[in-house]
Structure 1
C-alpha cells in the first residue's frame, strides 16, 4: 500500500474510529484500525464486534493494499503532524511508514486478514430525517438511560418507527422517563429496537456533521446510519422494552409554567443541604408561587420561593433534584410546563409551545 492523503481528512477518519475501538480487549486485533485502499480513496474501519464504523476519504493511491495498525498510536502520531502538510503512507513487511514534511514514523502493522469482516445489512426499514432532529431527540432523552447492567434493556434507547408517530426515541431508568419524536410523512411500515448507549452517542456525533438528511435503517438485530461516505452499524440489545405508554400521565389536571433557568438555579442551591444520595427536595405549588425546601439529617435546611404561573389546588410533592435538573438541561424552551395530579403521582414536564418531547418524573415520599 502506498498513498498520499490530506492530514485533515486522515485525522478526522482516525478520530471517528477512536470512538469505536475497544481500549481494553482480549482480542488484540480489535485495538487496531483497518486501512484499505478502494477505488475512490482510503477506507478506514474500526470495530468492537458490537459496533462497526467505516469511512472513505479521497486520497492519491499510488499502490493498492490493506493492513491494520494500533488505533491509539496512529491517532497520536497524526494528531502531532502539521495540519497544512500532506501525509504519505507506505507499507513494508510488518510495518507502516508515515511521512509528512521532514517527519518520518515507522510503526508495527498486522495483516488485514485477521480483521473482522464488515457486517452485512440486516435492517428491515430505512428512513430519512434531518440530522438536527436526531440530535434534538437524542439530546432530549439520553440522560435517562440507566447504568444498571442487571437490567440491560434499560441501558439503551428504544428507537421506534411507525406510521402513527414517525420516529420516537424513549429512555427510562425506572425513576424518570424521556420521550421525543419527529413526524415522518408517508411511512408504511413499523420497526423498533433498543440501541446500546455507545451506539446512541455515536449516532449523535455523526448527526452533528450532517448538512443534509441522514439515512437511518432499523432491523430486529441491527441499526445502521449512512452519511457522507461514512457508515456506522451496531448490534441492538436483544430484549423487550417496558410498556412505556402506561407511565405517561394522561389526566393530570394542574399545570404550572416555570422559568427553566430560575428553577434550575433554585434546585442547585437546595441540593447543597439535601441528602447526598437521594437529593430529595419538596416543591410546594400555590397560586403564582413555588416554594422549594430541602433538609438533611444534620437538621440543615434551605427554603426558597419563586414566582410562577399557577392557579389551583395546593400541591406538595417531593422529587430528586438531580433528576429534575437533568430534565431541565434537556429542555430547549425558556419555560417548562410542569403538569401535576397530586403528591403521589408522576409529574409530566413539557417544553413550552409543543409536545415533541415529554419527560416523566416519579415523585418521592418526603
Structure 2
C-alpha cells in the first residue's frame, strides 16, 4: 500500500474516529485504526470498541499501490497532530511496518498482521429491516444534545442514567436524559410522517457524546441521518458513519414525574439570575451548594450559608411572580443548566409540594411571532428535585 494525503484531510478524519478508541484495551485490534485505499482513490478508515464502530470515507488523488493496514490509532492521531497543516503525508507499507513521511519527518510504525488484523475491512453499516430514519441538521441535533447531556449521569447506578432516550412520533423528535435528581428534555416539533406510535431508543452515553462531537465539527446546515433499529443506532454526517448498539433496557415513563398542576410561577432574566447565583455560590459551595430562593413582591432574594456560618444574601428583580414562595435548590446544578440555555428569560414553576421545580426557557419577545405561526424552535425543559430545608 502506498498513497499520499493532505495533513488537514487526514487530521479531520482522525480527530473524529479515534474518539471511539480507548487507551486501555483487552484486545490489540481494538486500539488500531484500519486504513485501506483502492485504485480509484477511495480511502476508508474505521475504528471500533466492539459496541460502537465509526467509519470515514474520503477521496485521495495520489494512489500508487492499493492495500490496507491496521495501524495504532491513537499513535497515528498524535503524529498528525504534530505535523504542519500544509504538508502532504505519504503512507507506505513494508513487510510488517508502515512508513509515514511528511517533509523531513519520517515515522515507522508496526502494523498488525494475522487473522484478526482486517476485521473491519470493507465494513459498511447496514440498517435493519425494521429501521426508522430521521433527518435533522447538525446544528439542531447538537443543540438538543448539549441541553440534555448536562443531565446525563456518569456512573452506572441505573443503565438508563448513563444514556439518552431518543423519542420519535409523528409530532416531534425528542431527547431525554436523567441522573435521578435532574431530568432534561429537548423537543423539536418535527416528527416522522406516518409514524402512528411513539418509539423510544436508549443510546449509550459514549455514543451520544461522539455524535455531539460529530455535529460540532460539521457545518451547521449539514444534514444528519439518524437510523434506529431494534438493536442498533447509526448516525451519518458527511464522510462519517457511526454505528452503535442500543441499550437493552426500557426507559422510565418520565412523563409521570412532571406535576399535573403548577401552583407557582416565576419568570426572570437569565443573565441576571446566573450572576446572582454565582455570587451565592461563593458561600454555598461549602454547604452542598444549597441556595434558598425567596420570592416576594416581584423580588427574588437568594440566601446561602456555609458550614462555618459564613452567609450571603443577594437578589434580582422578577418579571413575574405568581405568589410568595421559598424554595431550596442546588445552586451549582442550576448554574450548569443556565450556562447551556440561550433564551433571554427563564421560567421556574413548581407544584404545591415544593418537592420539584421545572426550569423552562421562554421566548424573550413572544409578541413578535404571528399567531398560529409554525416554529422549528427547540423546546427545553428541566425538571429538578428541590433540596430539603433540614
TM-score, length-normalised on structure 2? 0.89
User: What is the match of residue 163 of structure 1?
Assistant: 170
User: What is the match of residue 214 of structure 2?
Assistant: 206
3-state SS, counterpart of residue 82 of structure 1: coil
Q: CA deviation at 1:72?
A: 2.0
User: What is the match of residue 30 of structure 1?
Assistant: 30
Kindly provide the CA deviation profile for residues 135-163 of structure 1, in whole angstroms up to 9, marking residues without a partner as x: 11001111001123131211111011111
Q: Gaps (5+ residues) in structure 2?
A: 364-376
User: What is the match of residue 53 of structure 1?
Assistant: 54
Q: CA deviation at 1:343?
A: 5.6
Q: CA deviation at 1:292?
A: 0.5
Distance 1:125-1:112 versus aligned 2 partners, 3 A rule: farther
Distance 1:180 1:250 in 2: 19
**Does 2:144 correspond to 1:137?**
yes
Please list, as runs of the form range in 1=range in 2, the aligned pairs for 1:251-330 lying within 5 A after superposition. Answer: 251-274=261-284, 276=286, 278-330=288-340
Distance 1:307-1:249 versus aligned 2 partners, 3 A rule: same
Distance 2:191 2:307 in 1: 55
Distance 1:90-1:56 versus aligned 2 partners, 3 A rule: same
3-state SS, counterpart of residue 111 of structure 2: strand
Checking the alignment, whether the CA contact within 8 Å between 1:281 and 1:293 is kept in structure 2 is yes
3-state SS, counterpart of residue 15 of structure 1: helix
Distance 1:40-1:250 versus aligned 2 partners, 3 A rule: farther
Stretch of structure 1 that moved more, 176-185 or 126-135? 176-185
Kindly provide the CA deviation profile for residues 75-105 of structure 1, in whole angstroms up to 9, marking residues without a partner as x: 1222222221211111111111112223222
Q: CA deviation at 1:340?
A: 2.5
**Does 2:183 correspond to 1:177?**
yes
Distance 1:252 1:40 in 2: 62
**Does 2:152 correspond to 1:151?**
no
Distance 1:226 1:277 in 2: 45
Checking the alignment, whether the CA contact within 8 Å between 1:318 and 1:343 is kept in structure 2 is no
Distance 1:63-1:329 versus aligned 2 partners, 3 A rule: same
Distance 2:147 2:212 in 1: 12
Distance 1:276 1:43 in 2: 52
Give the alignment's Cα RMSD to 1 decimal. Answer: 1.9
Q: CA deviation at 1:287?
A: 2.1
User: What is the match of residue 345 of structure 2?
Assistant: 335
Distance 1:29 1:325 in 2: 42
Checking the alignment, whether the CA contact within 8 Å between 2:127 and 2:227 is kept in structure 1 is no
User: What is the match of residue 90 of structure 1?
Assistant: 92
Stretch of structure 1 that moved more, 352-361 or 151-160? 352-361
Checking the alignment, whether the CA contact within 8 Å between 2:173 and 2:190 is kept in structure 1 is yes
Q: CA deviation at 1:199?
A: 0.8
Distance 2:67 2:329 in 1: 59
TM-score, length-normalised on structure 1? 0.94
Distance 1:343-1:249 versus aligned 2 partners, 3 A rule: closer
**Does 2:119 correspond to 1:116?**
yes
Please list, as runs of the form range in 1=range in 2, the aligned pairs for 1:210-229 lying within 5 A after superposition. Answer: 210=219, 211-229=221-239
**Does 2:51 correspond to 1:44?**
no
Checking the alignment, whether the CA contact within 8 Å between 1:146 and 1:172 is kept in structure 2 is yes
Q: CA deviation at 1:267?
A: 1.5
Q: CA deviation at 1:120?
A: 4.2
Checking the alignment, whether the CA contact within 8 Å between 2:268 and 2:319 is kept in structure 1 is yes
Name the count of aligned residue pairs: 365
Distance 1:316 1:307 in 2: 16
Kindly provide the CA deviation profile for residues 221-247 of structure 1, in whole angstroms up to 9, marking residues without a partner as x: 111011212111111221111110012
Distance 1:297 1:103 in 2: 58
Checking the alignment, whether the CA contact within 8 Å between 2:169 and 2:191 is kept in structure 1 is no
Checking the alignment, whether the CA contact within 8 Å between 2:70 and 2:112 is kept in structure 1 is yes
Q: CA deviation at 1:191?
A: 2.8
Distance 1:234 1:277 in 2: 41
